[in-house]
């Protein structure tokens, strides 16, 4: 009998995240929406969803000490997946409508407004999957669903041996921005896999398959 990996979807007051739970279940997980610290700590994987403004999401995360939970998991090499604003807050800062907010700082750099004539970037778009991507295995040429006006548009993390270079996936809307990052146990997508149909389910399944291997790899510093 196949054991379904236990995935905690962090419940910190973000918008409707039940679709993420349903998509993870469809991808093969035992997924639970929870703020239980023990479950978040011990689950095979943690998903950090995010809808809305960068500053509001950071306030909600800190209110339940979610920043500590995320950092402790990563310090122990345990898998975390950020989605949409859940990806953005992993960076050092977010600048939104003139408001500069400190992020979780797992990666250096700022999340800023896209340079595009029409915002938000809403709808389906293709991506340029990074070489050797595990997340995009089998869906490199598929389209994914985006809803956002801000993104990380540069990557500045410096890596040193023996750590592997993170796998970066880019998308174009007005200008290039990061659509996904795979960095040891820490992965994130700017798009919504739970709203991306069969391709999104396959991507989540790929993440689930990599949980064991990712948990053995330290985060790149």
* 47: CATH: 3.40.50.880
User: Of 18, 68, 84, 106, which residue is the catalytic one?
Assistant: 84
Active-site residue, 18 included: no
Asked if residue 221 has pLDDT above 60, the reply is: no
pLDDT given for residue 113 in this prediction: 97
Domain assignment of residue 221, yes or no: no
Percent of the chain scoring above 70 in pLDDT: 94
Q: How confident is the model at residue 10 (pLDDT cuts 50, 70, 90)?
A: very high
d(CA 89, CA 58): 7
Compute the average pLDDT of residues 30-49. 96
User: Of 106, 142, 182, 194, which residue is the catalytic one?
Assistant: 194
Active-site residue, 148 included: no
Domain assignment of residue 140, yes or no: yes
Domains held by the chain: number: 1
CA 28 to chain centre: 18
Q: In what order do the strands lie in the sheet with 6-10?
A: 30-34, 6-10, 45-48, 79-83, 186-189, 175-183, 167-173
Q: In sequence order, what DSSP letters do the residues of 3-68 get, joined into one string?
A: PPPEEEEE-SS-S--HHHHHHHHHHT-EEEEE--HHHHHHSSEEEE---S-HHHHHHHHHHTTHHH
Active-site residue, 171 included: no
Residue 138 in contact with residue 202, Cβ under 8 Å? Answer: yes
Indicate yes or no: pTM above 0.75.
yes
Q: How confident is the model at residue 158 (pLDDT cuts 50, 70, 90)?
A: confident
User: Of 171, 187, 192, 209, which residue is the catalytic one?
Assistant: 192
Query: In the predicted model, what is the mean pLDDT of the chain?
Result: 93
Asked if residue 35 has pLDDT above 80, the reply is: yes
d(CA 113, CA 213): 34
d(CA 198, CA 186): 23
d(CA 215, CA 65): 22
Domain assignment of residue 1, yes or no: no
Q: How confident is the model at residue 1 (pLDDT cuts 50, 70, 90)?
A: low
Q: Which domain holds residue 84?
A: 6-214
Q: What is the pLDDT of residues 54-78, one digit of tens each?
A: 999 999 999 999 999 999 999 999 9
Domain assignment of residue 75, yes or no: yes
Instruction: Compute the chain's Rg from CA coordinates.
Output: 16
Domain assignment of residue 219, yes or no: no
Residue 151 in contact with residue 177, Cβ under 8 Å? Answer: yes
Asked if residue 213 has pLDDT above 50, the reply is: no
20-24, 55-59, 217-221: segment of lowest average pLDDT? 217-221
Backbone angles phi, psi at 192, to 5 degrees: -100, 100
């Amino acid at each position: 009998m196949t054991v379904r990996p236990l995935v905690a979807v962090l419940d910190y007051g973000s918008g409707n995240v039940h679709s993420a739970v349903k998509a993870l279940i469809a991808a093969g997980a035992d997924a639970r929406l929870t703020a239980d610290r023990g479950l978040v700590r011990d689950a095979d994987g943690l998903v950090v969803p995010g809808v809305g403004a960068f500053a509001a999401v950071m306030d909600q995360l800190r209110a339940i000490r979610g920043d500590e939970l995320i950092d402790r998991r990563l310090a122990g090499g345990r898998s975390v997946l950020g989605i949409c604003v859940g990806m953005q807050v992993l960076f050092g800062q977010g600048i939104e409508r003139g408001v500069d907010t400190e992020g979780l700082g797992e990666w250096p750099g700022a999340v800023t407004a896209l340079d595009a004539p029409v915002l938000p970037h809403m709808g389906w778009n293709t991506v340029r999957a990074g070489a050797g991507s595990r997340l995009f295995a089998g869906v490199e040429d598929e389209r994914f669903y985006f809803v956002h006006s801000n993104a990380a548009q540069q990557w500045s993390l410096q890596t040193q041996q023996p750590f592997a270079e993170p796998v970066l996936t880019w998308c174009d809307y007005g200008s290039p921005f990061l659509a996904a990052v795979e960095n040891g146990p820490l992965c994130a997508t700017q798009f919504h896999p739970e709203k991306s149909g069969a391709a999104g389910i396959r991507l989540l399944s790929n993440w689930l398959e990599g949980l064991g291997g990712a948990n053995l790899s330290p985060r790149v510093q």
